[in-house]
Amino acid sequence: MALAALKYGDLSNQASKDYVFDIERFTSFEGDTGPYILYTIVRIRSILSRYLQQAGAADPAALPVAAPRSDAEKALMLDIAGFSEMMENACRELAPHRVCGYIYQLSNDFNSFYHETRILAEEDEQKKEGWIALLKLTEQILCTCISVLGFSAPERM
């Protein structure tokens, strides 16, 4: 987690600009920080794990993502849809801060969706499976991005 805090803290700043190294800010679990991103990934993994423990749970990677039913769900889906373009731009511009900005936005939108949606308590299986598929996709994208940045997420925090 310390490595994620330092790498994310450094890479989230535009390379051509100076910044103040602030270990208190870098290690915070709130805001645009590595620990916040890791916490989001661990939260998603926890939900997916609990889903898989339910009787008859389908493989999250094999489930279809359903059409959005709320503004928070739509925002999350729009973030996901922008993944390829963001990676292309970040690569072309040699700008890892763009990856950091993207995963911070994705994490914020996931957490908004999570706080307004009772995913595992949903009785409509089709709805629940669509949400689980969305979570799996979000987790995969977040993990891909932090891998590009040079760190990984723990299974638990």
Say what the pLDDT of residue 58 is: 83
Cα dist. 24→9, 13, 31, 40, 141 in Å? 11, 16, 12, 19, 27
CATH, residue 93: 1.10.730.10
Closest CA to 134 of 31, 29, 63: 63
Rounded CA separation 10/19 (Å): 9
Rounded CA separation 3/88 (Å): 25
Per residue in 83-119, pLDDT (tens digit) is: 999 999 999 999 999 999 999 999 999 999 999 999 9
Q: What's the domain count of the chain?
A: 1
Rounded CA separation 63/156 (Å): 24
Per residue in 16-74, pLDDT (tens digit) is: 667 666 667 766 677 889 999 999 999 999 999 999 998 777 888 888 999 999 999 99
Per residue in 123-133, pLDDT (tens digit) is: 999 999 999 99
24 in a structural domain: yes
Say what the pLDDT of residue 28 is: 65
Say what the pLDDT of residue 91 is: 96
Residue entry with tokens 């661990």: 42
Say what the pLDDT of residue 10 is: 76
Say what the pLDDT of residue 1 is: 78
Say what the pLDDT of residue 3 is: 79
pLDDT above 90 as % of the chain: 69
pTM (2 decimals)? 0.89
Say what the pLDDT of residue 93 is: 95
103 in a structural domain: yes
Say what the pLDDT of residue 139 is: 98
155 in a structural domain: no
| Domain of residue 38, residue span | 2-149
156 in a structural domain: no
Work out the pLDDT band at 9, boundaries 50, 70, 90: confident
Say what the pLDDT of residue 129 is: 95
